[in-house]
């Protein structure tokens, strides 16, 4: 298998779609600016030039309409790839996604599959304000019917996207802007080796990015590289942190999380979504339900407090977890003890 160096998830996702489109005429792409702009964050770049407007279709700013088109196309045997440019705009297509795309297979008694892949950009970190900087994958993970994918590396982005394109269920891929590798955005990932040939990565398998013995840090998206950098600093203090990348929230690999919790006895969950009713609470419950007897301290969590993401970059940095805060929270957890009161 041949491979080359790739920078960022945007190039990997676009390549995966290209490779699937070349062999599957049922795959079509639609959404705002998916042609010349590549869905703004690069997820569809190069596809229009290769496949033309018959299969790569710019739509008006009408999320409710093109999400409905995707539902209809999927019901007739197509596999639409739909760009929801910023996840913050999900409300404009809310009914078609939550009440039709996620439920039609169930409500039709299995008569209509819903093979739809939704691509959307998430996250802050560059001062884009409250309506363009959210994560919100917890909303989709909350509703039965969606599979929820959050890649943190280019290798995973390609393999998970190809899996989504071969799935008969609606899959939402959340690509963090700071991992895209595009020149107009800061980049927090790493250049890595990615095979040129198509390959898939199964959903529901977390990745242990760093082995450790003193505590477990669980993260997704851009919080994974930040947690790895935090682990390097913790190692200088003699704290050996294990870092787990969940990769898919639905399905969730609970077994790997529980195994790590039982191994280290201390768990910190780091998230860029809002804290209340979010990923951190769900993961914490599942881990403690299966590993309570092995925990040496209560599970800690670090997430965005329940406020809109600020435009001001100092304030934005104060609410979105960064490396310093992960290190600080992990140090506190490493010294925490179980109390009997």
β-pairing, 215-219 vs 27-31, is unpaired
What is the mean pLDDT, run by run of 10 residues, along the chain of 341 residues? Answer: 92 98 97 93 96 96 95 97 94 93 96 96 93 95 97 98 98 98 94 97 98 98 98 96 98 98 98 96 98 97 96 95 97 74 43
Half-sphere exposure of 209 (CA within 13 A, CB side): 26
Given the structure tokens 């969940």, which residue do they identify? 246
What token pair was written down for 123? 């996250």
| 263 C-beta neighbours (distance < 10 Å), count | 14
For the chain, the maximum distance between any two Cα atoms, rounded to a whole number of angstroms, is 66
Is 105 designated active site? no
How does strand 117-122 pair with strand 79-86?
parallel
Q: What is the pLDDT of residues 88-110, one digit of tens each?
A: 999 899 899 999 999 999 999 99
Look at residue 335 in the predicted model and tell me its pLDDT: 87
CA angle centred on 160, ends 159 and 165, rounded to 5°: 100
Count other Cβ atoms within 10 Å, centred on residue 127. 16
Whole-prediction pTM value? Answer: 0.96
Position 341 scores a pLDDT of: 43
Residue 133 to residue 125: CA distance in whole angstroms: 8
Catalytic residue among 132, 142, 176, 300: 132
Residue 236 CB-density burial (10 A; 0-12 exposed, 13-18 middle, 19+ buried):
exposed
CA-CA distances (angstroms) from residue 11 to 7, 57, 132, 179, 213?
7, 19, 22, 10, 35
Determine contact, residues 35/53, Cβ cutoff 8 Å: yes
- pLDDT tens sequence across 50-59: 999 999 999 9
Q: What is the pLDDT of residue 338?
A: 53
Q: How many CA atoms lie within 13 A of 185 on its CB side?
A: 25
Tokens of 180: 């895209």
| 246-to-148, 203, 206, 254 alpha-carbon distances in Å | 11, 10, 4, 9
Q: What are phi and psi of 262, to 5 degrees?
A: -70, -30
- The phi and psi torsions of 79 (rounded to 5 degrees) equal -125, 90
Could you give the domains of the chain? Answer: 3-195 (3.40.50.970), 207-335 (3.40.50.920)
Neighbours of 111 (CB within 10 A): 9
């Amino acid at each position: 298998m041949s491979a080359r160096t790739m920078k960022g998830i945007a190039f990997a996702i676009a390549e995966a779609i290209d490779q699937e489109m070349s062999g599957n005429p049922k795959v079509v792409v639609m959404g705002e600016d998916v042609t010349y702009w590549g869905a703004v964050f690069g997820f569809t770049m190069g596809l229009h030039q290769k496949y033309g407007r018959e299969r790569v279709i710019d739509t008006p700013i009408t999320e409710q309409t093109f999400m409905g088109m995707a539902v209809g196309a999927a019901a007739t045997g197509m596999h639409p790839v739909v760009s929801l440019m910023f996840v913050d705009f999900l409300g404009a297509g809310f009914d078609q996604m939550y009440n039709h795309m996620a439920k039609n297979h169930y409500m039709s008694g299995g008569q209509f599959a819903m093979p739809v892949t939704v691509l959307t950009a998430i996250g802050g970190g560059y001062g884009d304000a409250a309506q363009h900087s959210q994560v919100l994958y917890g909303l989709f993970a909350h509703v039965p019917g969606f599979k929820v994918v959050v890649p943190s590396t280019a290798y995973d982005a390609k393999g998970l996207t190809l899996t989504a394109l071969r799935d008969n269920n609606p899959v939402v891929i959340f690509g963090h802007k700071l991992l895209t590798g595009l020149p107009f955005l800061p980049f927090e990932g790493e250049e890595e080796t990615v095979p040129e040939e198509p390959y898939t990565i199964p959903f529901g398998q977390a990745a242990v990015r760093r082995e450790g013995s003193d505590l477990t840090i669980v993260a997704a998206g851009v919080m994974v590289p930040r947690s790895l950098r935090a682990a390097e600093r913790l190692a200088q203090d003699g704290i050996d942190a294990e870092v787990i990348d969940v990769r898919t929230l639905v399905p969730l690999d609970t077994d790997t999380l529980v195994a790590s919790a039982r191994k280290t006895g201390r768990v910190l969950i780091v998230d860029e979504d809002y804290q209340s009713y979010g990923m951190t609470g769900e993961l914490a419950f599942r881990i403690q339900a299966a590993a309570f007897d092995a925990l040496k301290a209560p599970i800690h969590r670090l997430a965005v407090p329940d406020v809109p993401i600020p435009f001001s970059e100092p304030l934005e940095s104060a609410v979105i977890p960064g490396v310093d805060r992960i290190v600080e929270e992990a140090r506190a957890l490493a010294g925490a003890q179980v109390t009997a009161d």
